[in-house]
Structure 1
Amino acid sequence: MSSPRWRPVDLAREHGLSTQAVRNYEEAGILPPARRSPYGYRAYSETHAQALRAFLALIPGFGHATATAIMQAVTEQRIEQALELIDAGHVQLRQDRLTLTAVEHALRDLAAPEPATGSSFVGPLARRLGVRPATLRKWERAGLLRPRRDRTTGYRVYAAADVRDAQLAHQLRRGGYSLGRIALLLDQVRTAGGVEPLEATLADWRTRLTRRGRAMLAGSAALHAYLTESSSLRG
């Protein structure tokens, strides 16, 4: 490790953190252990500074929990595991992009004339979406779905429009939208008779995915710089 020259306050000031936060990151294994002076004071190095930069750069793209797990793996020299976590993040981003495309397709279907057939019951619809029947009932209570009741059995019957609403709700939930926001959007679609109210939402979603992808690149670059620094010092 390089010659220590950073105090906890020095690392903290660079990022607007408290000194206690820096100590907490070290104790959590996000930063490697610091050297101690004869009086017990922590003495950090440029390696610690780069580790902290890497951690903070990883958070916007991968989230706090995954960024923590990545840095802990690096601190413990489990580099392959750290890289697997990064790979998983990119896989998830790719899946989210595919989800957005699916939502766009669902919206095009929603805009099409409703077919006379295609009704379903709660069990088959839940299996089709890969959710529990209780989830569909929760969505109904939140105003997302409005199935009719069979007069004889009392069972919920989802018409073709309800099925499409459920598919759209499922996709938007996958995109991170709250039940209340989805209910409002579906109400707007029903009232407006079209999907125009969702266009801004989808544009915002795509912008957030792009921002997340770039944040992943920035975080990976910072982690690469940290790994390079650490390897050169160990070598």
Structure 2
Amino acid sequence: MYRPVDLGRAHGLTAQAVRNYEQAGVIPPAARTASGYRVYTEDHVGALSAYVALIPGYGYRAAGEIMRSVLRGDLPTALAVIDTAHVQLQRDRETLDGVASAAVVLASSAPAAPGPDGPVSVGVLAHRLGVTPATLRKWERAGILAPARSRTARTYSSGDVRDAELAHLLRRGGYLLDRIAAVIEQVHAAGGPGPLAASIDQWRERITARGRAMLTGSARLADYLSFLDLVAGDASTSSDG
């Protein structure tokens, strides 16, 4: 039997944090003594261990959804949340690969100048890239390009030209439009090719750390599920006896 402080100590949590987690439904409800004090068991120890381990990889929201689903006996929903998180991690890896490719291109070659007369038109840019104006408008709808627009025409600045050239390269490499849009967003957020290249290693380390945290969280959850199976099996044996 454990008190809230006993449960919390193993994870560097306060007794109040343990009570809050119980109220949030991420660990089972506690039994009460005659005087009203909470009493926790190995069930709570396993649940709290799983929840705390899930947070670094899946985040508070997903970890909470996973544990609440498990505790109400809805394992398929819990696994679906886990699957969704792993799909997103893979998408992040694909975006990182695209950004890394973009950094190499941006570092090795300067973008074509828009021309002596200022920004270029959609027709000029389309001709330069060997695509149709309709393709450029499709990229715009996907969030890849954001040219200046008047009532009669679109115009593309030197930055727009660079984005279009980068999009064209990634498109030839088989990247989907939503992935390319994410790459362009990262290029803009980094402030150019130099800072972008410097941030890639850190980004890759964060993704790797998150993947390892997911493995650890999944392992603790698997331990807890095995505990629940064991308890259920013991209860069934006692009932049969």
TM category (shorter chain) comes to: 0.7 to 0.9
3-state SS, counterpart of residue 36 of structure 2: coil
1:10 positional shift: 0.8
Distance in 2 between residues matched to 1:198 and 1:183, nearest whole Å = 8
| 1:1-235 alignment, distance < 5 Å | 5-110=1-106, 111-115=108-112, 117-118=128-129, 124-127=138-141, 130-131=142-143, 136=146, 155-158=154-157, 159-164=160-165, 170-171=182-183, 173=185, 182-183=188-189, 185-186=191-192, 189=193, 196-235=194-233
Distance in 2 between residues matched to 1:84 and 1:168, nearest whole Å = 27
Distance in 1 between residues matched to 2:91 and 2:73, nearest whole Å = 29
Letter of the structure 1 residue corresponding to residue 143 of structure 2: V
Letter of the structure 1 residue corresponding to residue 191 of structure 2: L
Q: Which runs of 5+ in 1 are unaligned?
A: 137-146, 190-195
- The answer to whether the Cα contact below 8 Å between 2:8 and 2:15 also exists between their aligned partners in 1 is yes
Distance in 1 between residues matched to 2:88 and 2:13, nearest whole Å = 30
Distance in 1 between residues matched to 2:155 and 2:139, nearest whole Å = 11
Distance in 2 between residues matched to 1:48 and 1:172, nearest whole Å = 46
Change in Cα spacing, 1:164 to 1:215, as seen in structure 2 (3 Å) is: farther
Distance in 1 between residues matched to 2:166 and 2:48, nearest whole Å = 45
Distance in 1 between residues matched to 2:144 and 2:214, nearest whole Å = 33
- The answer to whether the Cα contact below 8 Å between 1:107 and 1:168 also exists between their aligned partners in 2 is no
How many corresponding residue pairs? 202
Distance in 2 between residues matched to 1:209 and 1:154, nearest whole Å = 41
Two-structure CA RMSD over aligned residues (Å): 3.0
1:216 positional shift: 0.3
- The answer to whether the Cα contact below 8 Å between 2:190 and 2:196 also exists between their aligned partners in 1 is no
Mean alpha-carbon deviation: is it higher for 67-76 or for 113-122? 113-122
Letter of the structure 2 residue corresponding to residue 198 of structure 1: L
| TM-score, L = length of structure 2 | 0.72
Match of 2:119 in 1: none
Mean alpha-carbon deviation: is it higher for 46-55 or for 114-123? 114-123
| TM-score, L = length of structure 1 | 0.73
Q: Which runs of 5+ in 2 are unaligned?
A: 113-124, 168-178, 234-241
3-state SS, counterpart of residue 63 of structure 1: helix
1:113 positional shift: 4.5
Distance in 1 between residues matched to 2:149 and 2:111, nearest whole Å = 19
